[in-house]
Structure 1
């Protein structure tokens, strides 16, 4: 009796949480599924401006690329620079504060294409904020918390009361009635996808809540390192922005060679971040440097060779969340799990709808007998 009451309580929690967040879960899941193959989609659909013909020439220099940007858009400012170091014919991408994106030839700094954020970036914004800014982020973050609770309560409901029913709980009866087939699609597919979805959801919460990062630090017995503070002498002369950025990039490349990609980003409060990613298999090997944006003086540095347990979790989290960890097989698995996640609110709603109609039919039959 107690077990039945417990299951009913869990069922009600699962039901009402699902009804409250179903639409948001569908949006998160479908947009996430699309973004899993972001790299492949971009390489296939955008190769005409993401790459130029391969030449036996060196990189023209970041200063020349930035000068080209400043000439084209003198009233705009830099927000992000991406350089694919492992691909010498990949264009240098600059995103401005006004949201414009420029692609420059790496050999001569000429403009290859100018545009706005592409549809994949809109998909990313939809996934993280519903295109509603801070309000959307709040809704998304707490919807993922609820989704984690739904996955856990769903596993409790899935678990068969008797071991002889285990096979039945793991099998979809394809020749059954629509009602039974829909139930199996919700119950069985939800179980098979649950581990991947739990890992994906928890890695998403890692981005959203400081408490999740603190929990990771607690379990590893380490703390996220801010990086080693650097005491740098102030330059006697401040170089122009193009020269300053080029000097930072050149010095970092010389001291820490072998990066496959490099990015500059402005983080607010006058701080510039340089991130260099190196070949890796599990945790992302990345060196991160922070500078005063106005002077180019280094503030601190965080090297992957110094990572502790909490740092390794942080470095792995993005690839875990996007399915990139372990390469294409895991991307396919994550994609399928995301599609299943998108289907769960639909099949769950149908189950609820069928159960609502059932009592009404009984009342109607009883009324007919009383006539």
Structure 2
């Protein structure tokens, strides 16, 4: 009997160690979820709302309707040139959004880059593409309520400190996802059952089965959204990590555009025409404008 007991002792110790590790991991998983429940719910709900930000923006603050005009609208390059002459020189256009209908204005977004502790400023200018008249302008890209949702999602209304906090929340969610996957991992005989809710389950068993099934079916989306949130909160750190792992993909130093001698830079209209050549049935929705000469459209 003593020989049999000693032979099974290492295996028993491994089982006991595995059980202890699972219990510790379960406590970590549980307490992260409990402590961070409220902010995670806020970030999750506001993120879901922002999926429909364009539709909500048009509903809350419908774009101004212009009087019917029979004249041909100006080109994008002409609109940009006209607005640049009326905006403070510290602002540079970086996005043009085409009107969705003939009676709606075009939107030109300008940015004044910050520096030395000064935050960047963005202004949206709505312009009549036919007359080139100002329609209106505003500093916030979203109307009042939606702007609060954007800030609540991005920094919990806490400014830069809140953005860092949201980034750490994203890391905590990644830990939740990884620990949840480990705790869910079934034995060899339980793979099929692990993806489903047991028929007739009641009470705590029902909730556990639902938690596990929903978690595993949404795991990839859950981790992708969480990781992308971390990237947005800590862009420089993530860029440095990517550069270290893949030196050929330096996100901070993209390859500049090298032009031959005498080659003229094309304007926005030419860039749009080139893009439409590849997809003739497409229509212009928006175009990003380069902030520096070596950047592309």
State TM-score, norm by structure 1: 0.55
- Cα distance, 1:19 vs structure 2: 1.9
- Cα distance, 1:107 vs structure 2: 1.3
- Cα distance, 1:200 vs structure 2: 1.2
Going from structure 1 to structure 2, the CA distance change for 1:125 and 1:230 (only over 3 Å counts) comes to: farther
Q: How many residues align?
A: 251
Does residue 96 of structure 2 align to residue 83 of structure 1?
A: yes
Determine helix, strand or coil for the equivalent of 2:272.
coil
Does residue 193 of structure 2 align to residue 197 of structure 1?
A: no
Which of 261, 272, 281 in structure 2 is aligned with 1:257? Answer: 272
Which of 197, 222, 230 in structure 1 is aligned with 2:249? Answer: 222
Determine helix, strand or coil for the equivalent of 1:83.
strand
CA distance in 1, matches of 2:199, 2:136: 51
How large is the Cα RMSD of the aligned pairs? 3.9
Q: What is the match of residue 195 of structure 2?
A: 170
Going from structure 1 to structure 2, the CA distance change for 1:187 and 1:61 (only over 3 Å counts) comes to: same
Determine helix, strand or coil for the equivalent of 2:267.
helix
Going from structure 1 to structure 2, the CA distance change for 1:85 and 1:111 (only over 3 Å counts) comes to: closer
Which of 126, 147, 153 in structure 2 is aligned with 1:103? Answer: 126
The structure with the larger Rg is 2
Q: What is the match of residue 41 of structure 2?
A: 26
Determine helix, strand or coil for the equivalent of 1:190.
helix
- Cα distance, 1:159 vs structure 2: 0.9
Q: How does 1:110-149 map to 2 (within 5 A)?
A: 110-113=133-136, 117-118=142-143, 119-149=145-175
State TM-score, norm by structure 2: 0.67
Which of 144, 154, 158 in structure 1 is aligned with 2:184? Answer: 158
CA distance in 1, matches of 2:65, 2:196: 46
Q: Determine if contact 2:72/2:130 at 8 Å carries over to the other structure.
A: yes
- Cα distance, 1:165 vs structure 2: 2.5
Determine helix, strand or coil for the equivalent of 1:163.
coil
Going from structure 1 to structure 2, the CA distance change for 1:174 and 1:32 (only over 3 Å counts) comes to: farther
Select between 137-146 and 215-224 the one with higher mean Cα deviation: 215-224
Deviations 1:336-369 (A, max 9, x none): xxxxxxxxxxxxxxxxxxxxxxxxxxxxxxxxxx
Q: Determine if contact 2:99/2:106 at 8 Å carries over to the other structure.
A: no
Going from structure 1 to structure 2, the CA distance change for 1:9 and 1:219 (only over 3 Å counts) comes to: farther
CA distance in 2, matches of 1:171, 1:53: 58
Q: Point out the structure with the larger strand share.
A: 1
Q: What is the match of residue 188 of structure 1?
A: 213
Q: Determine if contact 2:69/2:130 at 8 Å carries over to the other structure.
A: no
Determine helix, strand or coil for the equivalent of 2:126.
strand
